Structure 1
Amino acid sequence: MNKYKVRKFMKRFFAYFTLILFSIAFIIPFLWMVSSSFKIPSDIMRTTFSLIPRNEAGNVYFTLDNYRYAIEYLDTQRLFINTFIVASLNTVINLFLNSLAGYAFAKIEFKGKNRLFKIILTSMMIPGAVMLVPNLLIIRFLGLIDTLAALILPFTMSVYNVFLMRQTFESISVELEEAAMIEGANRFVIFTKIAMPIARPTLVVLAITTFMWNYNNFMWPLMVIDSDSKRTLALGLGNLIQAASGNPEMYPAMIAGSVLMSIPLIIIFIFFQRFIIAGINVGGVKE
């Protein structure tokens, strides 16, 4: 019995020790970034590592000049508005269309359903970079270059989201749907009044991941956006990084811009982390 307790303790100890090491490996760089955003350029270049801003005399100090410069350079208000419009609309449209598709594949019988679903899943193996040029040609043909619509239209559907919603809807019992049909409910009523509320944990995690992906998307806006008024945060930060690459004096402003961009995502994760875990568990277990 003692050997069993010791073995159990050692397993738990090594598990927590490993998790702590990984946590430190992820947290330290972020803390350094936050700390460096309050430093002057000469202190960032010093070889002495310190998470607390200190000058050469060892005195602690904080400067907000980096954030003021980053906000002015990026036109933060406009970038935030564009980014939230794109990410929010993309998330709402994506969830609605993918939920409809997932419900159809899970609960509606039609000819060739399984074969069509396998073909759709096969498309997940195509690298996203391969689709950049075809999507660009379509957007150019539609005359949507340099518009926010160009950032929304190509990402209104997601094969992964369709797959996860299908797995979630398949866990809904047939008896529940039959009881609703006896009461006179049609398929769309069952979808909106029964299936969607049951799938709420999965919808929440997909909403968060979809919003975060669109929030961080850089390559596609770089290809289709030309004017400053249509830029997103990721594109604006990319321009700031490019400007700072040849000017070390701009390093603190670049870091401050990175901190500003990460704040909304951190807030979202803090408030919705329990929904993320619940959604992953619900979507990953099929009854």
Structure 2
Amino acid sequence: MDAITEDALALLRTDGRLSFAELARELGVPRAAIAARISPMLDSGELRIVAAVHPRFFGLNVMAHIALRISGDVDRIVAEIGDRIPAVFISETVGAEQLVVETHVRSLGELQAVLREIRGLPGVSDARHLIYDHVLNSFFLGAEPDGPQAELDEADGAIIQLLQRDGRTAYRELADHADLSITAVRSRVNRLVKAGIMRIGPLGQRSDSTGSLVFGIGVNLAGDGDEVVALASRRRGLEFMARTVGRFDLLATIAFSSLQDLNAFLDQLRRIPETRAVTTWLHARIRLERYQFMQRREG
């Protein structure tokens, strides 16, 4: 992936509805240069632009990372987890654990039920979890919204439903579907995004041929870790970062161009006085990544 493509995708993460012309203006390149890179990715399904509503808005206040040690059939376990629990992310990993699962649930009681379900699967020998105390950065959903959120009405729901399928759906089609004017639809989309309720951005189709190496990094801290957060935040490949409760104080997912790139970052990280311990694992194969499963808000 060249620098123009990377920069265009970075802009789409801030606003997935940016046109090719707007992307070209921002990057100072011809529109054709953007179209030649992004259009094939969209047409092939390698890249999708979709909308998601932040899980906390749906009352899914407990977001957890679960690391599994398994000895059974990986494909079967992945399929069972995908069918039986509200998983939004499943990855095969290289390290002490063989699978990482992320789930969003309403309460600690629901999380406990999810853990019992997973631990009861044949072939799962251990499941260790972390709870996200506060999401600082996410490849797709962004930072957590602050404060109370506005209520959604039927028109908002209709707009979100279409944008979950295609985040670049034309305003005219959204207006027809929601029975509103184009101006009203545009205003609602902007309100949902600015309030942090909805995010529209790119979701890549991960594959074994992906050029970058995606690592999970768990950090134990002696302090607030602000310098560690600042270091990770400067990384172009940062996909996710959260302060956590459990065996780590901070969890990050970062893409690196090479092992040399990873080692240089780890050297910097370990030199920070607040860093007490660093644990890493490689995301060898992303098996599930979904953010559109939340279709309605439940009371």
- TM-score normalised per structure 2: 0.27
Identify, as 1 or 2, the structure richer in helix.
Answer: 1
- TM-score normalised per structure 1: 0.28
Identify, as 1 or 2, the structure richer in strand.
Answer: 2
Q: Which has the larger radius of gyration?
A: 1
